[in-house]
Structure 1
Amino acid sequence: MPVPVFLHGRSARLEPLGERHVEALAMAAAEDRASYAFTPVPHGVAAAERYVADALAARAAGQALPFAVVRAADGLVVGSTRFCELDYWQGPVPWPPAPREPLGDPLTAVPDATEIGGTWLSARAQGTGINTEAKLLMLRHAFETWGVRRVSLRADARNLRSRAAIERLGATLEGVRRAHTRGLDGMVRGTAFYSILDEEWPHVRDRLEQRVAAGPTTERIRPLLSA
């Protein structure tokens, strides 16, 4: 199970999510909720407490590695993101295929594949370049520290803004699983699945580093990755 880490960038810092972030997350989520139609975002302190507790339980179970997204300029918490769907490929091949637990010491194991998801940003942080750099930091950690073979991303198929933002990262659309699950609005939704492979990472990294160096665009990007 990967240990919690701090990831530092020029405009963004990712901190292991903890109880100390509850009130700041609630404040970030309360700024303007108009863009959260497809993305689960806590509303209020009580909801933020449950949100953090659920994330920490997933981390304790080895199912996720959640972060608070922090604006580097002033230390303001502006959202959250996480690694999830951690998959380990060592040992015998199971059938049917399914995510596997790590062999050996789980405290030192690193995954062979993972997903980035559960991402949301406050209204003031959207379109500032923070999300792009946060994804660069996470992808770099996954491919260059863990040595994963693939990173997956997904979005509600109706969420065209999020899908466009994922594609701008350099991810490849694998397809849309139709009538996959229920959305936050209760409607049956499809899910668009994307991925980046290890052999694609150098090209993706170069493009993302250029985008981060160039600074934010004028377009306001809505929260990515409604799972």
Structure 2
Amino acid sequence: MDLTTPTLIGRLVRLEPLSREHHDGLVEATQDGRMWDRWYTSAPTIEGVETAIEQRLDLQAQGNMLPFTAIRQSDDVVLGMTSFYDIRADVPRVSIGYTWNRESTHGTGTNPESKLLLMTHAFEALGCKAVRYETSWSNQQSRSAIERLGARLDGVLRADRLESNGALRDTVVYSVMAHEWPSVRAGLEHRLRHR
């Protein structure tokens, strides 16, 4: 499995390999809607953006994550971050997550296009047999978005980990299998075409 992070380009969004140069844009993005103030998301605080970048770059150096910065194509505004993680070359499988985007972009099509770009790379370039998504049971917005992508519910892991506020988190697990990918891709392309 090729673990280099490519630049993935769509009509609405561009996913660039995360770098320290994205810091100021990510600080601005996290302020749009106070994204850190949602205990069930992975968005950093303003002060925590630098640490979040360093953590993701360290995980990349260890071969455990491929982190991206999402950038709007029309004006080069930084929207947020997303990643491939839980990379399993033996299956092969990746998870897509640790995603957050500035609030003003919610519902604009940039997130589904980001997921289309990521899944296309996972299935068609990396040869994955499955792509997995996980989210908190409490994050209904994320659960609905994952379901709209065409991912299927695998199950709920009760008391799986702690949320940032210390509460026990139930993790909802979804996946798209390689044999489902053509249908999922067609659905996403149709959805984005009719935006």
Contact 2:94 / 2:130 at 8 angstroms: preserved in 1? Answer: yes
Of 135-144 and 183-192, the range deviating more from structure 2: 183-192
Instruction: Look up the match of 1:99.
Output: none
Moved over 2 A (4+): 34-37
Q: Which has the higher strand share?
A: 2
Post-superposition shift, 1:168? 0.6
User: For the residues of structure 2 that align with 1:161 and 1:213, how far apart are their CA atoms?
Assistant: 22
Two-structure CA RMSD over aligned residues (Å): 1.2
Instruction: Look up the match of 1:50.
Output: 51
Paired amino acid for 2:41: T
Superposed counterparts of 1:179-218, under 5 Å: 179-215=159-195
Of 32-41 and 55-64, the range deviating more from structure 2: 32-41
Instruction: Look up the match of 1:22.
Output: 23
Aligned residues: 193
User: For the residues of structure 2 that align with 1:49 and 1:135, how far apart are their CA atoms?
Assistant: 24
Instruction: Look up the match of 1:39.
Output: 41
Q: Which has the higher helix share?
A: 2
User: For the residues of structure 1 that align with 2:135 and 2:74, how far apart are their CA atoms?
Assistant: 29
User: For the residues of structure 1 that align with 2:189 and 2:39, how far apart are their CA atoms?
Assistant: 30
Of 182-191 and 72-81, the range deviating more from structure 2: 182-191
- Partner of 1:158: helix, strand, or coil? coil
Post-superposition shift, 1:162? 0.9
User: For the residues of structure 2 that align with 1:78 and 1:37, how far apart are their CA atoms?
Assistant: 19
User: For the residues of structure 2 that align with 1:133 and 1:139, how far apart are their CA atoms?
Assistant: 10
Deviations along 1:171-199, one digit per CA (max 9) or x if unpaired, are: 01011011111112211121000000000
Instruction: Look up the match of 2:122.
Output: 142
Instruction: Look up the match of 1:92.
Output: none
User: Is 2:106 aligned against 1:126?
Assistant: yes
Post-superposition shift, 1:140? 0.4
Paired amino acid for 1:153: Y
Percent identity between the two aligned chains: 38
Match of 2:145 among 147, 158, 165: 165
Deviations along 1:201-223, one digit per CA (max 9) or x if unpaired, are: 000000000011111xxxxxxxx
Paired amino acid for 1:78: L
User: For the residues of structure 1 that align with 2:147 and 2:6, how far apart are their CA atoms?
Assistant: 26
Instruction: Look up the match of 2:134.
Output: 154
Unaligned runs of 5+ in 2: none
With a CA cutoff of 8 Å and minimum separation of 6, indicate the structure with the bigger relative contact order: 1
User: For the residues of structure 2 that align with 1:86 and 1:208, how far apart are their CA atoms?
Assistant: 23
